[in-house]
Amino acid sequence: MAGRKFFVGGNWKMNGTIESGKKLVETIKSAKLDSNTEVVIAPPAIHLLLVKDALSGVEHVQVSGQNAYHKASGAFTGEVSVTQLQDAGIPWVILGHSERRTVFKETDDQTAEKTKAALDAGLSVIVCVGETLDEREKNESVNVVVRQLNAVADQVKDWTKVVVAYEPVWAIGTGKVATAEQAQEVHAAIRKWASDKLGQSAAESLRIIYGGSVAAKNCKELATQNDIDGFLVGGASLKPEFTEIVNARL
């Protein structure tokens, strides 16, 4: 905790319509949100500007891309570049999400390359790391996460605009949730990695958030853990309970 501002991201993934997006924004705007929590929501790319405009004037809530490409422009059909996000006034981007890694086969090095490009373009980045069920059962959780983080650290030296999201792949969309103790254990290992690799000061200020079937029913216990600085919320970010998760520390 140590003075780190609590952070809650809502990843809408490939869900929603213009109408449902407007309704979600209205729910957020009408709720009394914890002013000590930074909130970032990530709608599909086609809805980014609409949601950004709808949120104008709302303090503590910003908008994020769900992914971006590291090249500024060019013949990369279907991609959105980090510089296009920056030009559109989108301050955040999620990179290395487990679905990008598992479904779209993005590598550690590609995630690192994108992270460097996004930071160079002035964006803030939510970098996702996490292990599969097979890797957890082999007691490889920390090794996998450290490998993913080392790839980024090889290209990125300044982590002040990075939030690390630990997302155990086996707990995403499955309804399975790492226990608060399991999550804290990996978060503590990430903090130790950061201290060894980036220095103690950087480690103490680095926000490490948890993602993996976070819901209103489990967020309060998770939020009490010493090294859990917030959440990256999937399915529950499409429901009114998202505001309860934002207020997990109240």
Catalytic site positions? 97, 167
| H runs (alpha helix) in 55-96 | 82-87
Amino acid at the residue 147: R
Measured CA to CA, the distance from residue 233 to residue 16 in angstroms comes to 15
Whether residue 68 contacts residue 114, with contact meaning beta carbons closer than 8 Å, is answered with: yes
Whether residue 233 contacts residue 247, with contact meaning beta carbons closer than 8 Å, is answered with: no
- What is the token pair recorded at 196? 């060894």
* Closest of 67, 94, 118, 113 to residue 167, by C-alpha: 94
Under the phi-then-psi rule, with left for phi > 0, alpha for psi from -120 to 50, and beta for the rest, what region is 249? alpha
